[in-house]
């Protein structure tokens, strides 16, 4: 095979239409072989002799897209010094843009012999490894453009590529559970009905099914076990042809963009599938272990583990940082995604055991002209010291607000805390305002993939994770859930009614609070996991969206709330409330006691119900064309207690009369307008949303006579000159 020297940049395998450049960074390698595989896995080795700045590279003029490959790295194997090179282990390119095959677990994937971690195992792992695939970078985007939906106008829908469509009856069977399935018209219609502006996909970076799960007959469903940061997961492609998952992913992004929906990826840059010192040698561990992973300083045989998964990426090393940043830029520039949600983001910033807001990772993101311009969402906790870091991320970041989740659950499921609940509904200014951020820095959620579904949150007191095979020891035990008197399924109408109301209360608070709401897929339709609150290993109907069991009234309720939010900027404010008086003499927000007066300091320490007045004439800021933002006024009453409350509507200075928009405790019948100062019953554990009453406009006269009248100056009911009324 004819070998050209090639270039050290870009890293990875880059097809230019004629041939392919290969480049691999390793500071510890003494020799590197590029291993090419045909369709039958016959191996051809090419030694890389060109080395620039520790990057080993070559150009193969006849290698095209679809070529399967891996690496063998020769160098020191001395785990006590953190060095783990072993050429018997075929290694996946960290920059591979596509993969083929799966991990076939066995002894050969480990550099030691089972039972003796200090031994050396030289079994060839190639027959049992997934391979990298050279991809075709050319794609017709046909006018695809960045949507740049403002945060305050966003509604995020957390979805699993497979779980969302695997059981959808309208999606063709070959497309179910795939990237292609996500843009089927029936799925797009569902998104549009809910007013979804962004789909946040659970991990699609190529991941590995853990050996312990495979041994139990389970799979890594969630995907938080990444091995390829550039490669879309091959199992989610409808085509099984090598490398075509890249094209299908791009087509999915293009299709969602055409529907006005952004794509946000849940990314796992804090750790990889190679685990701890007893884990397999699949990629970076064998390429350059100390550069890519954070090792224990005094004993580099072991890994620093801030994630609970065995390892943490070494973000203090420039080459590891380069890998992360190159990957992020690739997904934005080449795959056209609109943002990222960083799993355990705190782990990426850990320097000297602290989350340092000036860490190298945050500095790079801040300065990067590509990554800094997309949506950046942090999951602000990990298992390290001071692991919960909500509110501590830099200004350009938004964060999953776990305090919102906890406060809203507590309020509606039996432990009302008026002050905490109000702070979260108003945008969590205590967390974000001091860093110059806005209310939309708070990504509000009540449920997510990790934990109970919304339906299960109101149906179970205890987790039921027995299907995971861990004796129900996995998952969170403190769920802030409430079964309403019966654990699990029931036919008791009273229990079912209470559960249905609770779901509506939780959804109403989520969608009408300041910040960015995030729905977990299926919560809008009553999806249940039968009490399972840790579905990470359940790639089965237990975790898939069952489209045949949709709670249609709940779905319509959710859609109604989403439309209410979309139609009214008062629920989507770009700035925090000030509490200052406006021209109409009223504050932009007023917290109301059920007696009709503003809340006093003493009122916050007791009770389970409160009202919130939102002044639509006091929305700070201007719209996109510089005009003031005005809206209707709203009253929101929340009663988290077990008894009904008779609330007095505020005086006429707030509004002369009010119409009911949402009442989670009532049927859907229309009511007469409620007058200021009148008393309205807020049922136990219910939400009441009112808007200022406006008389219906007079129906316009659309007749021909009206046009004539406008021309002649006569009234429309007078006959025109020279005509007969008959």
Residues annotated catalytic, as ranges: 343, 379
Give the SS3 label for residue 659.
strand
Under a CB-based contact definition with an 8 Å cutoff, are residues 1 and 16 in contact?
no
Query: What is the rounded CA–CA span in Å between residue 380 and residue 540?
Result: 29
Cβ partners under 8 Å of residue 298, min gap 6: none
Under a CB-based contact definition with an 8 Å cutoff, are residues 530 and 457 in contact?
no
Under a CB-based contact definition with an 8 Å cutoff, are residues 295 and 316 in contact?
no
Under a CB-based contact definition with an 8 Å cutoff, are residues 621 and 575 in contact?
yes
Q: Which two tokens stand for residue 406?
A: 């906890």
Helix or strand run (H / E) with residue 527? none
**Beta-carbon count within 10 A of 330 CB:** 18
Cβ partners under 8 Å of residue 710, min gap 6: none
> What is the DSSP code string of 218-243?
----S---EEEEEEEPGGG-S--STT
Sign (positive or negative) of CA dihedral 22, 23, 29, 31: positive
Helix or strand run (H / E) with residue 263? strand 262-267
In 497-539, beta strands by DSSP E: 516-520
Query: What is the rounded CA–CA span in Å between residue 440 and residue 444?
Result: 9
Under a CB-based contact definition with an 8 Å cutoff, are residues 649 and 675 in contact?
yes
Q: Between the CA of residue 139 and those of 142, 244, 510, what are the distances in Å?
A: 9, 11, 39
Query: What is the rounded CA–CA span in Å between residue 258 and residue 279?
Result: 43
Q: Which two tokens stand for residue 545?
A: 């969206």
């Amino acid at each position: 095979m004819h070998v050209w020297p090639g270039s050290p940049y870009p890293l990875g395998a880059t097809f230019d239409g004629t041939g392919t450049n290969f480049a691999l960074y390793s500071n510890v390698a003494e020799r590197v072989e590029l291993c090419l595989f045909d369709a039958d896995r016959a191996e051809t080795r090419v030694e890389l002799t060109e080395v620039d700045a520790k990057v080993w590279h070559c150009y193969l003029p006849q290698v095209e897209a679809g070529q399967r490959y891996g690496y063998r790295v020769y160098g020191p194997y001395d785990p006590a010094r953190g060095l783990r090179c072993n050429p018997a282990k075929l290694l996946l390119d960290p920059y591979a843009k596509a993969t083929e095959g799966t991990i076939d677990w066995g002894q050969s994937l480990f550099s030691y012999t089972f039972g003796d971690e200090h031994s050396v195992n030289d079994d060839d792992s190639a027959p049992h490894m997934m391979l990298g695939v050279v991809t075709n970078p050319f794609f017709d985007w046909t006018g695809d453009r960045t949507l740049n939906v403002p945060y305050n106008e966003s509604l995020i829908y957390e979805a699993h590529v497979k779980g969302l469509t695997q059981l959808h009856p309208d999606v063709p069977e070959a497309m179910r559970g795939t990237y292609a399935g996500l843009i089927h018209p029936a799925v797009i219609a569902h998104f549009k009905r809910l007013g979804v502006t962004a789909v946040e996909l659970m991990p699609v970076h190529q991941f590995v099914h853990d050996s312990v799960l495979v041994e139990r007959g389970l799979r890594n469903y969630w995907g938080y076990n990444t091995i390829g940061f550039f490669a879309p997961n091959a199992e989610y492609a409808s085509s099984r042809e090598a490398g075509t998952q890249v094209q299908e992913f791009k087509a999915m992004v293009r299709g969602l963009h055409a529907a006005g929906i952004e794509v946000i990826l849940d990314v796992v840059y804090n750790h990889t599938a190679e685990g701890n010192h007893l884990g397999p040698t699949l990629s970076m561990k064998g390429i350059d272990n100390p550069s890519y992973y954070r090792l224990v300083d005094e004993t580099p045989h072991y890994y620093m583990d801030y994630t609970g998964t065995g390892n943490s990426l070494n973000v203090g090393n420039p080459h590891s940082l380069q890998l992360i940043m190159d990957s992020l830029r690739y997904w934005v520039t080449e795959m056209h995604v609109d943002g990222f949600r960083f799993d355990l983001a705190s782990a990426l910033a850990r320097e000297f055991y602290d989350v340092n807001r000036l860490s190298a990772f945050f500095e790079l993101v801040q300065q990067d002209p590509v990554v800094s311009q997309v949506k950046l969402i942090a999951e602000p906790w990990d298992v390290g010291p001071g692991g919960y870091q909500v509110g501590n991320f830099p200004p350009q970041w938004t964060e999953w607000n776990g305090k919102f989740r906890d406060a809203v659950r507590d309020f509606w499921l039996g432990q009302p805390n008026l002050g905490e609940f109000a702070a979260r509904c108003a945008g969590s200014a205590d967390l974000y305002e001091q860093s110059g951020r806005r209310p939309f820095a708070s990504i509000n959620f009540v449920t997510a993939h990790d934990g109970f579904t919304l339906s299960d949150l109101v149906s179970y007191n205890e987790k039921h994770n027995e299907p995971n095979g861990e004796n129900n020891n996995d998952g969170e035990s403190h769920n802030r859930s409430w079964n309403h008197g019966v654990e699990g399924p029931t036919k008791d109408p009273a229990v079912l009614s209470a559960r249905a109301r609770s779901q509506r209360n939780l959804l109403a608070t989520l969608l009408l609070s300041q910040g960015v709401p995030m729905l977990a897929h299926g919560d809008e339709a009553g999806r249940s996991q039968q009490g399972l609150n840790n579905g990470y290993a359940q790639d089965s109907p237990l975790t898939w969206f069952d489209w045949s069991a949709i709670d249609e009234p709940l779905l319509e309720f959710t859609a109604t709330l989403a439309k209410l939010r979309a139609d009214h900027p008062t629920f989507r404010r770009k700035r925090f409330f000030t509490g200052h008086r406006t021209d109409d003499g009223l504050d932009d927000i007023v917290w109301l006691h059920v007696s009709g007066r503003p809340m006093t300091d003493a009122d916050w320490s007791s009770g389970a119900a409160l009202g919130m007045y939102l002044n639509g004439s006091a929305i700070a800021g201007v719209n996109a064309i510089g005009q003031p933002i005005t809206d209707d006024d709203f009253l929101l009453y929340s009663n988290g207690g077990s008894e009904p409350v008779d609330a007095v509507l505020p005086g006429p200075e707030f509004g002369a009369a009010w119409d009911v928009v949402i009442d989670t405790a009532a049927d859907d019948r229309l009511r007469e307008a409620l007058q200021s100062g009148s008393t309205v019953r807020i049922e136990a554990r219910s939400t009441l949303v009112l808007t200022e009453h406006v008389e219906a406009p007079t129906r316009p006269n659309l007749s021909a006579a009206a046009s004539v009248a406008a021309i002649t100056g006569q009234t429309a009911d007078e006959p025109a000159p020279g005509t007969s009324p008959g």
